């Protein structure tokens, strides 16, 4: 397993290329913009994009979907249905591609990798985190030392607290790969993240 971070779009969102080098297969997580550059990077790595995975439907995480879908119309775009049903609104603009639902407990296969879906609402109703081995892609649920905003339409402080409590209770340690800012570890966030400590409280 190899993970490549790309900063894309006007907000420099963390887009991840999750690559299984044994199968030459990649998943794009949160293509927030610059779909052509993401596609070029995957090709330069010798990877075929097999999945496009959205942690939620805010524009800064979906802005590159249309270009990727135009180039790769056969590749499914996964989004939790609670966010998918809001697409086309001001906060959740249309993404230029049909979506496939994934929900709590679902597992997606990428080559020899298994991607587990955790529904973690709060930042948006359909926010998810994605766990692959010891990597945890947290979208805008958990940041290094912080958490996602809950003051946008569909946000809920109570729900994000429940989601952070759930993440804190995951066994062992994980590499935390958020939608913005730097990476971290789950244990570091348990020890020093005020919001996670409040949630654990």
pLDDT of residue 89: 87
pLDDT for res 125: 98
Q: What is the mean pLDDT of residues 67-94?
A: 96
pLDDT of residue 113: 98
Q: Is the pLDDT of residue 170 over 90?
A: yes
pLDDT > 90 fraction of the chain, expressed in percent and rounded: 98
Taking residues 154-178, report their average pLDDT.
Answer: 97
- Mean per-residue pLDDT of the chain: 97
pLDDT of residue 15: 98
Distant-in-sequence, close-in-space partners of 95: CB < 8 Å, separation ≥ 6: 54, 57, 62, 65, 66, 77, 87
Could you tell me which of 104, 99, 103, 147 has the C-alpha nearest to residue 122?
147
Provide the percentage of residues in the chain whose pLDDT is more than 70. 100
CATH code assigned to 2-200 = 3.60.15.10
SS3 145: coil
Q: What 3-state DSSP class applies to 37?
A: helix
Residue pLDDT, tens place only, 17-42? 999 999 999 999 999 999 999 999 99
d(CA 163, CA 169): 10
Q: Give the β-pairing of 175-178 and 184-185.
A: antiparallel
pTM of the predicted structure, to 2 decimals:
0.98
C-beta of residue 39 within 8 angstroms of C-beta of residue 47: no
Q: In terms of Cα–Cα distance, which of 193, 188, 190, 146 is closest to 168?
A: 190
Q: What is the per-residue pLDDT across 85-124, written as a single tens digit (0 to 9) for each?
A: 999 988 899 999 999 999 999 999 999 999 999 999 999 9
Q: Is the distance from CB of 191 to CB of 185 less than 8 angstroms?
A: no
What pLDDT sits at residue 90?
80
For residue 87, the model assigns a pLDDT of 96
Which of 162, 199, 161, 192 lies closest to 176, judged by CA? 192
Of 33, 97, 27, residue with least CA distance to 59:
33
């Amino acid at each position: 397993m190899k993970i490549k971070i790309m900063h894309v779009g006007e907000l420099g969102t963390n887009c991840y290329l999750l690559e299984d080098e044994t199968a030459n297969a990649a998943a794009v997580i949160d293509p927030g913009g610059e779909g052509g550059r993401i596609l070029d990077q995957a090709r330069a790595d010798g990877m075929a994009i097999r999945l496009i995975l959205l942690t939620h439907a805010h524009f800064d995480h979906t802005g590159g979907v249309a270009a990727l879908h135009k180039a790769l119309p056969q590749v499914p775009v996964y989004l939790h249905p609670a966010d998918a049903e809001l697409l086309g609104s001001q906060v959740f603009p249309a993404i230029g591609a049909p979506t496939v639902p994934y929900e709590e407990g679902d597992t997606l296969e990428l080559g020899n990798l298994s991607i587990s879906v955790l529904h973690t609402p709060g930042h948006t109703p359909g926010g998810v985190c994605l766990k692959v081995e010891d990597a945890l892609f947290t979208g805008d649920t958990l940041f290094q030392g912080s958490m996602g905003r809950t003051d946008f339409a569909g946000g809920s402080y109570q729900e994000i607290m429940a989601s952070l409590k759930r993440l804190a209770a995951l066994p062992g340690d994980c590499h935390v790969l958020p939608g913005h800012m730097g990476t971290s570890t789950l244990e570091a966030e348990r020890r020093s993240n005020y919001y996670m400590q409040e949630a654990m409280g």
